[in-house]
Amino acid sequence: LTSLGAQAQINELGIFAGGANYIGDVGPTNYVKPNDLALGVIYKWNRSPRHSWRASFTYADISSKDVDSDMSGREQRGYEFKNTVKELSLGLEFNFFDFNLHEPDFKITPYIYSGLSYFWSDELYIQNGVTRRLDSKGNLAIPMTVGLKTNILENFVLGFEVGARYTFTDNLDGSNNDDYPQLAFGNLESNDWYVFTGFTLTYTFGVKPCYCAE
């Protein structure tokens, strides 16, 4: 059974744990500065040693304050907001080096991931400096992730990744609510981003595949 299990690694199932930050019209403009918790689950189907189909669900808080910005205009304005992101993401993960989990030797590789994400977040607007919350709404985003992973133990893969999401909304922060156009502020021509930074830990299992040319 032990020998059979060591060869059965076409699937990966695991967790993501780390932090989240947002980039937009409120607070600092740092690209990678996790300041809120992000947790998720990940599934991968290893199509070959170089690429995997990947699905994930991630829950994260995002927040920002103008007082933390190094831009004087934002510091004086003094806005702040809090929101949540619940993201379902599907796409392709590509390994720069062969990462064949059916071989017992130590392996390490950088990787990239992209695809399409659909996320839910609350609609916000800011009035007289106070953030007001409306119903949740879904939007699309494009994930752009870079990472590094290695097989730390038999059947376990540890990774570290940074994943930026370009969203198709400018209202994660309440700066551009369609129902309150008179309250809009900031750069109305630039959509918001959010970033997940953290570790992945997956367990490998399943029927050993045949990596053959078609």
Tell me the residue length of the chain: 214
Q: Does the reported pTM lie above 0.85?
A: yes
Q: Outline where DSSP puts E strands in 154-177.
A: 156-167
**Integer Cα distance of 101 and 83 in angstroms:** 39
Q: What's the pLDDT tens digit per position in 74-95?
A: 999 999 999 999 999 999 999 9
Task: Give the CA-trace dihedral at 175, 69, 71, 128, to 10 degrees.
Answer: 40
Say what the pLDDT of residue 3 is: 41
The pLDDT confidence band at residue 160, using thresholds 50, 70 and 90, is: very high
- Would the pLDDT of 6 be above 90? no
3-state DSSP call for residue 126?
A: strand
Q: What are phi and psi of 122, to 5 degrees?
A: -75, 145
Give one word for 137, left, alpha or beta, with left for phi > 0 and alpha for psi -120 to 50: beta
Q: Which residues of 129-150 are buried (b: 16+ CB within 10 A; e: fewer)?
A: eebeeeeeeebebebbbebebe
Per-residue model confidence (pLDDT) at position 101: 82
